[in-house]
Structures are given as structure tokens and as C-alpha cells.
Structure 1
């Protein structure tokens, strides 16, 4: 059997992927997560006297904390199975990645298990986030010093 015959057999056996259905579910559940984030934003603005410029960090921290809590109870995995990328792309996916790696390696101990593997998935996000923030700030500094934009 050559590669082409194998591919034909595989195409017959493999069920078609429901791309449109998956896209709609990811969009709706990702939108729901973002709507919850906006509700938390307005909660902080109304009850804790934050402004629109200062409310971003507490909202993101709360969303990450909620995702970590749901991951600890095993609920975020179920959400991810339904939502796909809709649950991974918002900031809650970061919290899920951190806690799921910690839970997976807790049997190896706190230092070598949890401590050594907690940022296994999320570490690349942190590294690229810091690096991109550095370069964006550097570009902005150059543009400000040239008088192209104002600070």
C-alpha cells in the first residue's frame, strides 16, 4: 500500500470536521467570557471607585483567578472541550495553562513538580509578552524622541 492509497482509506474512515460549528461555539463562548470580564470591569468601577484607565489590571487578575479556580475544580477542561479556542484565547486561558501544569505535576513534589513545571505552557506567553512589550515601548520612545507622536 502506498501513501496515496493510505490517504484514500483514511479519508473514508475519518469523520468530517465541523469547522463552522466549532467556529460559532468558540466565538460565542469566547464572547461570553469577555462579557463576564466587562461585567467585572463595571463592578469594579461602580463599587470600588476605579476609573476606566485603572480597572484593567484588577479585571484581568480576577479573570485569571476565576479560570484558575475553575481549572482546580475540573470545570475549565469541560469548557475547553466545548469552546476550543474560545476558552484558550482570552486571558483566562493563561490561568488555565498555569494551574493545569501545576496540577499535572503535583505528585512529583512542590519544588521539582509544581515549581519546575508550573510555567511550562504559560512561560512562552510570558517571555513573548515581555519581549513584545519591550520592543513596542522602544519603538514608541524612538517615535516620541523624533517628535512623530506625543507622550
Structure 2
């Protein structure tokens, strides 16, 4: 469907709004995302080292409990209403890693809890998770297939 042409008045209004619209602090947002994302990574590494040393796991086996801990903390902070306030300032640094995924699932569960455990929490929580998990499985399959078919 073709867009309807704008009138001169609509063009002037759009220019006026654009001129007065505040500009986002892009540099600050980028630095905050970089710094907070780095802190989340450092926390993940510290948890991996902690589980490796206390449980006697090798490095690869210790990453599982570390990721689960990050997911638990993000879900807990979401439930307490703290995660969104932190994400407001941290931006993508907190939203992109596994903590952001945990937040989106927990927030969906909390939003629909009035509809019951199965119809509300369960179905709405996995509505988002299902597509992400499916994408991950399909992507892993394609990468494994390419690694098998391409020598070297």
C-alpha cells in the first residue's frame, strides 16, 4: 500500500517536532552498556571460578551453575522490581546477556499471573522462550551440519 503524501502543514509540524525533540545521550548509553555488560561478564567469570574451586569442577562444567546463578539473580531482581530500574540506566549491557533473557521470561510470568499458573504464567512465560530456544536449536543444527560438511 502506497503512503499518502503529506501536506505542507504536516511536513512543517514534523520538522518542528524533530527540531524540539531531545537527542538521546548516545555516548553515555554506549559507555554504560559496555561497562555494565563487562561487569555482568566479570560476575559470570567470578561465579565460574567460585564453582570450579568450591565444587571441584573443571572450567567447562562450572559454567552451567554460573549461568543458572545469573539467571536466578536476574529473575529474582525482576520479581522484586529492581531489574527494570537497573536496566533503565545500564541499557543494553544488562539486557543483552542471559540476564536480559531471564528478565523477559520472568516479567512475562509476572504480567500474566492473574490468569493462573498454567494459562497465565506457564503459557505466557514460554511464549517468548519457545521462539528463542527454537532459534538456538535450529542455529546449532545448521552450524553443526556445516561443520560436518565442510572439511577442515
TM-score by length of 2: 0.89
Which of 89, 93, 96 lines up with 1:86 in the alignment?
A: 93
Over 2 Å off, 4+ runs: 1-4, 119-124
Q: 2:64 aligns with which of 57, 63, 68?
A: 57
Which residue of the partner structure matches residue 23 of structure 2? 16
- CA offsets 1:9-64 (integer angstroms, 9 cap, x no match): 11132111111111111111111111111110110111111112222222111111
In the aligned structure 1, how far is the partner of 2:90 from the partner of 2:129?
Answer: 19
**Structure 2 regions of 5+ residues with no counterpart?**
1-7
Aligned partner of 2:79 in structure 1 is: 72
1:117-136 correspondence runs (5 A): 117-136=124-143
> In 1, distance between residues paired with 2:145 and 2:69?
30
State which of 116, 126, 135 in structure 1 corresponds to 2:123. Answer: 116
CA distance in 2, matches of 1:18, 1:96: 24
Question: Could you tell me how far apart the structure 2 residues matched to 1:31 and 1:121 are?
Answer: 26
| Aligned counterparts of 1:125 and 1:2: Cα–Cα separation in 2 | 44
**Which protein is richer in helix relative to its size?**
2
Describe the SS at the equivalent of 2:127: coil
Distance 2:131 2:13 in 1: 37
SS at match of 1:15: coil
Structure 1 spans left out of the alignment, 5+ residues: none
SS in 2 for 1:27: helix
Q: Aligned residue pairs: how many?
A: 145
Aligned counterpart, 2:109: 102
Higher mean C-alpha deviation, range 96-105 or range 51-60: 51-60
Q: Aligned partners of 1:64, 1:126: CA distance in 2, in Å?
A: 15
- Residue of structure 2 in register with 1:37 after alignment: 44
